[in-house]
Amino acid sequence: MSEGRGRQNYIDGVWQASASPAAIPVVNPATELVIAEAVASSEADAARAASAARKAFDRWSQTPVAERIALLERVRAGIEARADELAGLITAEMGCPIGFSRAAQIGLAVGDIRATLAVAAELDDRVLGRSIVQNDPVGVVVAITPWNFPLHQILAKIAPALAAGCTVVLKPSEVTPLDAVILAEIFHAAGTPPGVFNMVLGGRETGAALVARPEVDMVSFTGSTRGGRAVAEIAGRELKKAALELGGKSANIILDDADLEKVIPAALGQSFINSGQVCAALSRLIVPESRRAEVEAIAVEAAKSWTLGDPTDPANRLGPLANRAQQEKVRQAIGGAMQEGATLLCGGPDQPAGLPKGAYVSPTILSHVTRAMAIFREETFGPVLSVIGYADERDAIWIANDSQYGLSGGVWSESLERAEGVARQMRTGQVILNGASLDLAAPFGGVKQSGLGRENGRYGLEEYCSPKAITRPIRA
């Protein structure tokens, strides 16, 4: 592409200047320096991209699955070849520690493609009764993605969409557009047919313009519940399909037989990873009231290992939040909880000592959090863990389910069977037992105000399919 990464959109197989002169600064949250400017695309740009995707759809939808798989394999290889560059960009864009960028931000993106390819053959026709069931692609898909796992969230959407035979218009977060530009370069180098993959940069207005385009059949959105409602309202006018992966306030239940010395440090990781900027973060730690003091002592000691500082230093486990606005929201949440009566065990709302510049928030643990507090109910999206006591197992499950959200959850017990029994009673889209690692073959998504639809594996692939029944007559 031309000089000035982020200054052009990728539409119909070529880099195109935006019809809008407006630009959005990309700010490094650690240094607070502007590292680039990205275009704030116009309705005309959205129209061009949607039209290109529609024009390409008929041919791409009829392309053999083997050819679609081959394209995604080339894209995967391209990501791996530019992994260091991508990791460095993500760290600069949103402050993720470089070690986590390399391992998770890039590793998950590659894993998304592999998980899609593992199930792509399941698109074959099925026979049910007297009918052949054919999985037709939904059509033109708009993918609107967030800044917290920018590349992972992009590939979790567009890999299955492309494998299913859909064409795509990507609108990445305006906070993290630069890694998406690299991805567009990779798609171009991989020989993607014009119009099959398109990328339009911009903010909320650009996303809204894309969702409203008549050429679009489906929108896949990851972001806040408020943003999801706005997307659903626009899509609903024309009854377009909407897959929404939204907010969370997930519960981590520590049963009374758990080994706290092993469990609590791991539970902190389930809340603090990526500076707590994880929609599925297990930010409500539900513990036996009789063991609260023990939990608190272990948690405070374990929090000391979550070193905070320059995200380019591999020794640091926490970097800044994505921007100053996000930092202020988290600070207000901590301060509000303290005003409502929560006990601050460590961390707090102040700018961390020794870090006068940057959107940093210290790893924070609050105790004596009650269901009446905002911090119990509202997504914090920062390195903040709330400790909540329970009387018995039934009470723990009730507390976990007392939420407007239902995205993730966790259970810890010496007995895996007991943990599973509790997990089955939790109203959420996913439950992690005893710190199990992420399984990209399993469906990911929420219930209640955490969204609609699923990502990952077979379930994620089927979101982009429209089953068609071809029914044969009864033989005489």
* Token output for 464: 């982009």
For the chain, the helix, strand and coil percentages under 3-state DSSP, each to the nearest 5: 40, 20, 40
Neighbours of 396 (CB within 10 A): 25
Q: Which residues are catalytic?
A: 245, 279
List 466's β-bridge partners, or say none.
Answer: 136
Question: Which has the closest alpha carbon to 183: 141, 140, 151?
Answer: 151
Question: Which has the closest alpha carbon to 438: 249, 225, 269?
Answer: 269
Sheet-wide strand order for 131-137 = 126-128, 131-137, 465-471
Which amino acid is it at 268? L
Give the whole-angstrom CA distance, residue 314 versus residue 299: 23
* Token output for 141: 């898909």
What is the bridge-based pairing of β-strands 409-412 and 343-346? unpaired
Residue in the block written with tokens 């969370």 = 248
Buried b (16+ CB within 10 A) or exposed e, 136-164: ebbbbbbbbbbbbbbbbbbbbbbbbbbbb
